[in-house]
Amino acid sequence: MALYGAAAAVLEGLERGAGGVKALVFQSRFPHVRQLYALVSETLRYSAVLEELLAGAALLRAEKKLSPQLAKVLVYDLLFGKGLKCGGRWKALARRHRARLEAELARLKVRRKVSRNEELLAPAQAGGPGASQVPRYVRVNTLKTCVDDVIEFFKREGYCYLGKAASVEELRSLSGKKFLLDLHLPELLVFPPQTDFHDNVLYTSGHIILQDKASCLPAFLLSPAAGAHVIDACAAPGNKTSQLAAILENRGQIFAFDVDTKRLATMSTMLTRAGVTGFQLAQQDFLTVDPGDPKYSKVAYILLDPSCSGSGMVNRVPVAEAAPSAERLQALAGFQRKVLSHGLSFPALRRLVYSTCSLHREENEDVVGAVLQEWGSAFRLVDAFPGWPCRGLAAFPGAESCLRASAADTLTQGFFVAVLERRGDGAAACRSLPAAAGDSPQHGEGTEPGAAPKKRRRKKQRKVCAALPGNCRCSKQRRSGGKQVK
C-alpha cells in the first residue's frame, strides 16, 4: 500500500498546485524515489485514458472510500503496469473489479480502432518518437561485483546473453529475456524496455544500479584517478556519486552536496547499500562552498549536474508539466552559469564535467560558451568521446566537442555533457579521458555468448559467482561507511 498511497498523495499535491512531480516525490518519505517517480509519471501519462475507464466501469460510484487519485494509480498498475504486486486491501478491491475494467478497456480499444495500449495515448502523451523504446540500462556496481559475474547470474535466471552490441540498432531490437553489453560503456548491460529489476536481489543488495546510459556519461568522462579528491556538486539521488566511487575504486575522497535533507538521507542509504566509502555528504548549496577552504585544496575533479528544466526526460515526463517559459529558462541558465563559473574557481581543479538532462540550448551550449568566454584561456573544452554520434549545437566555435543524447538518436534520455579542462601546468597531470567500450576487451568472449575468457574458464567452473551479497569472488567491498556532515 505504501507505494500506491505515496503515488496518490503526489497526484493530489499536483492537483492542489503544491509543487512539481520531482519536488513532491522527494518530499514524500517513500524510500524508493525512482520507483515512485516512474509510477506517478506513467499514471499521469495515461490520465485521460484512466478517467474514461473509471467512468465507464463506475468504479468510484461502487467504491465510495476510494479517492480518484488512488483509483487512477491502482487501475494504471492493474491494466498497464506491473499487475498490482503490492497494495493490501486496495489490491483486493481493484481485483474485484478487474473483469469490468478489462471489458471497459477492450471496448475503448474497439471505439478508438486500436489494438495496443500505447495507441490509446495522444502523440504528446506517448512521449514522442522512440520515447517508449528506451531500453532498461543496468550499471554493474564494480565495488561489489564484476560484469562477468552479473552476466552469469542473469543467464541462470533464464536471460539470454547476446554479447557486446555492435550498434544502437542492436539495442533497439532487444526483446523478451535477451540482453547485451553496451557498445560504449564497459560496465553497462542493456535489457528490453520496461524490464523491471526493482525487486531483483542484485538491485536490492546494491550489486547493480538502474541508471540510464546518458546519466552514466558524466562520471565516465570525468574519469578521476584512484585516490583523487572529487566534488559532486549537486549530488542527489546519488547514482553518479556511486559511479564515481566505483571509478575511484573507493580510494580518495568524494565531497557530495545537496540542499535537500530528505534527498541526502535517501542518498546516504543508497550509497551505503552500494558499498561506497570515502565520501562526505553536506546539506549545503554548492554556491556557498568556499573554494579557498583547505578542506578542498586537493579537489582536482568536479562533477556538476545542476538543476535544469528536465526537458530531456522524454520517457518519464508527465504531460501535466508544461514546457518551461522563456523567463524560467533564463532564470535556470543564469543559475547554471553562476554555478559552473563557481566550480571552475577551485584552485586545484584539473577537469570539470558539466551536464544537464535538458534539451534547451539556453541551458547547455549557451551556458558553456558564456562561462568559457568569462574565463578566457584558463580552460578549454575537450573533444570528449569522438565516436559519440550526437554533438553539441553550433552555438560557438568548438561546441561540437560537447555531447548530446536523445531517445531517437542514442536510445537514451535527453542529455547534454561538456568536459572542461584547465590549460597549462595542471593539464599535464590530468588523467586522460577513457576510451569507449569498443576499445576494451569484450566481456564474456569465448565459444558461446557470455563464456569466460580461456585463462579464467577453469576457475569459473570451480567457483562461479552468483553475484549475491557475500559470495562475489571479485568483490571490492569496504566495510566502513561514509560520513555525513551537516
CA–CA dist 145, 471 (Å, integer):
9
- Quick one: how far is CA 438 from the chain centroid? 22
CA–CA dist 190, 471 (Å, integer):
24
Catalytic residue among 357, 402, 430, 465: 357
Closest CA to 140 of 61, 62, 220: 220
Q: Count helices and strands (H / E) in the chain.
A: 20, 14
Closest CA to 252 of 222, 291, 221, 224: 224
Q: What are phi and psi of 232, to 5 degrees?
A: -105, 100
Q: Put residue 286 in one of left, alpha, beta given phi > 0 → left and psi -120 to 50 → alpha.
A: alpha
Q: Do 357 and 307 form a contact (C-beta atoms < 8 A)?
A: no
CA–CA dist 39, 441 (Å, integer):
38
Rg of the chain over all Cα atoms, to the nearest angstrom: 23
CA–CA dist 94, 88 (Å, integer):
10
CB crowding 282-310: b at 16 or more within 10 Å, else e: bebebeebebeeeebeebbbbbbbbebbb
The sign one gets for the Cα dihedral 294, 299, 249, 139 is: positive
Q: Do 484 and 268 form a contact (C-beta atoms < 8 A)?
A: yes
Q: Could you give the maximum distance between any two Cα atoms of the chain, in Å?
A: 74
Identity at 403, one-letter amino acid code: L
β-strand pairing of 415-422 with 403-405: antiparallel
Q: Is the peptide bond before 237 cis (omega within 30 degrees of 0)?
A: yes
CA–CA dist 180, 188 (Å, integer):
9
* Residue 234 among the catalytic residues: no
Active site residues: 357
